[in-house]
Amino acid sequence: MKDCELSAPSQERQLRQPGGGQTGSGCVGPTSVSQTPRRGQICSAGADSREGNNSPEESGDLVTEVGALDPSGKPKRSKKRRRRRQGAGRQVVGLPPAPSAAAPVLLWFRRDLRLCDNPALTAALEVGAPVIPIFIWSPEEEEGPAGVTVATGGACKYWLHQALSCLCASLERNGSHLVFLRSAEAGGEGGSSLQTLKELVKETGARTVMANALYEPWLKDRDHAAAVALWKSGVECKMFHSYCLRDPYSVRTEGVGLRGIGSVSHFLSCCRQNPGPALGAPLEPPTALPVPAHWPRGAPLEALGLARMPRRKDGTTVDWAASIRKSWDFSEEGAHARLEAFLGDGVYRYDKESGRADAPNTSCVSPYLHFGQLSPRWVLWDAKAARCRPPKFQRKLAWRDLAYWQLSLFPELPWESLRPPYKALRWSSDRRHLKAWQRGGTGYPLVDAAMRQLWLTGWMNNYMRHVVASFLIAYLHLPWQEGYRWFQVRNGCRGDTGQDTLVDADVAIDAMMWQNGGMCGLDHWNFVMHPVDAAMTCDPDGSYVRKWCPELSGLPDELIHKPWKCPASVLRRAGVVLGQTYPERIVTDLEERRSRSLRDVALVRKQFGQYVDERSGCDLLPLPPRLVSEALGSSPQGGVEAAGGRPFLLPLITRMEFKHQQGDPDADAASNPYNAVLKGYVSRKRDEAVAFLHERDFTASVMQEGARRRERMESDQRRLEGLPRASEPRGRARRTPTAKDRFSVVPGGAVTPAR
């Protein structure tokens, strides 16, 4: 127990402790009598408050104490609550009135940089104590076991810097501010963030730490270790669920089974069969935050080094983020404005034209979701409240949760192929091809435009990500890890700020998509995007290529996606010189490279036949203990194995062309009836619609000719027999097809001629 007294003769505030200056059990505060009490401690200034006088109870001094926390985390009841209430209004002469004398709450911001729908913020305000918002930058802890970074590359760090600046401004408008801290080198249990939290607890006297949970396995382990260590020291640490719609560690397969695992349909079935807590309505932002009496020492935002720019030899700065600043609004208000703009316009074209690269038909909210400036619950709530509610857009949120569920099941997802045979695939090691792909110099305009957009703005839509991934894996034969690293992981390319290019570099989503595109994930996509034919779907007029590859802007629409087929006169008039103003194609025979890729897959599947189901031809995957325990109802720590000590193997979704290629490994891609190379989603549907209409029109014309022939024969027969002409059939007249007839309109604007 500590006595806080004011010495009248010297007018110095000193902290005195009975019994030789030793602090009582469970007390937090200075232990030296020469130290100054923290701002906000309430002391009495009566004539009897002298050293050596009566006890604090007899002298009327106010005793400020912090109750110890029991193992349940609840504060013990104090026997002097009445005296504290009576002395709460007393103020020390010369000290400003403290906003609050209660122990503050540390609100730990991570990837939840928002005020709207923030469960941790709402819970901190419900405590009724001062709230100290903090942000701890610890890049060493963000990296996974294999150095897989979450937000430690150039583009992500720059967005994080801008988002933190906007969040700090929002907190200042509410009367508070954000304390920035950079942790020291990791050491001890829980890592460097734990050491920083312990120092903050010691400095502020906080008894509660609140944060929103993160679901990367290494970050979840870090948070658990920190919570246990803080609990042992008497500090309660509470984590709240808000980063995903469904907690990935609570998803179970009971009642659904494991068939089809990896697909979003299977994931949704698991969520419906084993529902979790109700989502509820989004939380409104606060209007004011209670401030503490004493703010901890922090560092300026610039000291975190998030927006560091490299310098040239002459001392000038390389402002590589200028295009990113022009393309995005980094504030929480900008996130809501972009979502509202999409729900008011682009959502009407999202279902059928979300793959268009030349039109703003996508929401572009993925960076805001990654850094928590928008909560997925808020996005889902607004999407359901919009006038147009496309299921495809809402399904994207399920894909996001599916990615984190896969990461929780397979922590090695970002760096190791899940399907065992594909770990032995023969990949190319041509660094020249990789560099050309990274910098947008492949000679294929659609791929180059997408990679240049990524480099300048840090983003591209989902369809274009499929295009560039298919080109890297299926046509350049480069491993999917190279694409993942370029999108996500720092390798020291942009000066010393990192090599990643995506501003929404989400480790779970990127790893799942690159694994699936690299043929080794839980789901096999039954398509490969052709770099030329796909352009007819996503950029039919060439406006997207003209924007990001301006050297090709003079080419005609029908040849802009294949400049190597342009006549010399057309190239000369457009000012294009292949190999000089625009690069030559780095690979020319795409069909041959696709055939070689299929042969390589057939070879490894034959080599690792124990991981291929003989009956169905599907790939087999060793199941993690968590899924086996759910299927068998046993404990995951027991190391469940099949008979003979072998792991349980599960058939996975496998591409049909791989199954067919297994029977004839030397066949080329063109002869495979299940060839996965597509022109694109929209063009494939358009071709199917055209074929259907042609077949329907041919059948209708034959039927019409037969009916007219019968009518002529009946008319001739009646005339020969001297009978009157048959009367016209009553009722609605035959309708002539027009341009508004939905059965006569072909997707793309073509109209069948009226017959």
SS3 for 120-166, per residue? Answer: HHHHHHHHCCCEEEEEEECHHHHCCCCCCCCCCCHHHHHHHHHHHHH
The reply, when asked if residue 366 is annotated as ligand binding, is: yes
Question: Which residue has tokens 């179970």?
Answer: 252
The reply, when asked if residue 327 is annotated as ligand binding, is: no
The radius of gyration of the chain's CA atoms, rounded to the nearest angstrom, is 34
| Distance (Å, whole) CA 64 – CA 90 | 12
The SS3 of residue 76 is: coil
424 DSSP assignment: G
The token pair that represents 180 in the structure block: 């920035």
The dihedral sign for the CA sequence 173, 179, 180, 186: negative
Inter-residue contact 183 to 200 (CB < 8 Å): no
The reply, when asked if residue 180 is annotated as ligand binding, is: no
Question: Which residue has tokens 């857009």?
Answer: 393
| Distance (Å, whole) CA 225 – CA 193 | 11
The reply, when asked if residue 179 is annotated as ligand binding, is: no
| Distance (Å, whole) CA 333 – CA 255 | 42
The three-point CA angle 233-15-127 to 5° equals: 45
| Distance (Å, whole) CA 608 – CA 612 | 7
Measured in whole angstroms, the distance separating CA 326 from the mean position of its chain's CA atoms is 22
The token pair that represents 558 in the structure block: 């029908």
The DSSP-derived string for 456-511 is: HHS---HHHHHHHHHIIIIIS---HHHHHHHHT---S-STTS-S---TT--HHHHH
| Distance (Å, whole) CA 100 – CA 292 | 6
The reply, when asked if residue 350 is annotated as ligand binding, is: yes
The token pair that represents 204 in the structure block: 């502020």
- Which helix or strand (DSSP H or E) is residue 107 part of? strand 105-109
Residues of the chain by 3-state class (helix, strand, coil), percent to 5:
40, 10, 50
| Distance (Å, whole) CA 702 – CA 682 | 30
| Of 468, 465, 457, nearest in space to 434 by CA | 468
The reply, when asked if residue 363 is annotated as ligand binding, is: yes
Tell me how crowded residue 142 is: count the other CB atoms within 10 A of its CB.
20
The reply, when asked if residue 505 is annotated as ligand binding, is: yes
| Of 671, 699, 491, 668, nearest in space to 589 by CA | 668
Q: Cβ neighbours of residue 415 under 8 Å, at least 6 residues apart? A: 144, 146, 148, 481
CA dist 115 → 332, 365, 378 (Å): 8, 17, 12
Q: Cβ neighbours of residue 431 under 8 Å, at least 6 residues apart? A: none
The SS3 of residue 519 is: coil
Provide the angle, in degrees to the nearest 10, between the axes of the packed helices 391-409 and 507-517: 90
Tell me how crowded residue 447 is: count the other CB atoms within 10 A of its CB.
27
**Known binding-site residue numbers:** 350, 362-366, 393, 504-506
**Known binding-site residue numbers for FAD:** 350, 362-366, 393, 504-506
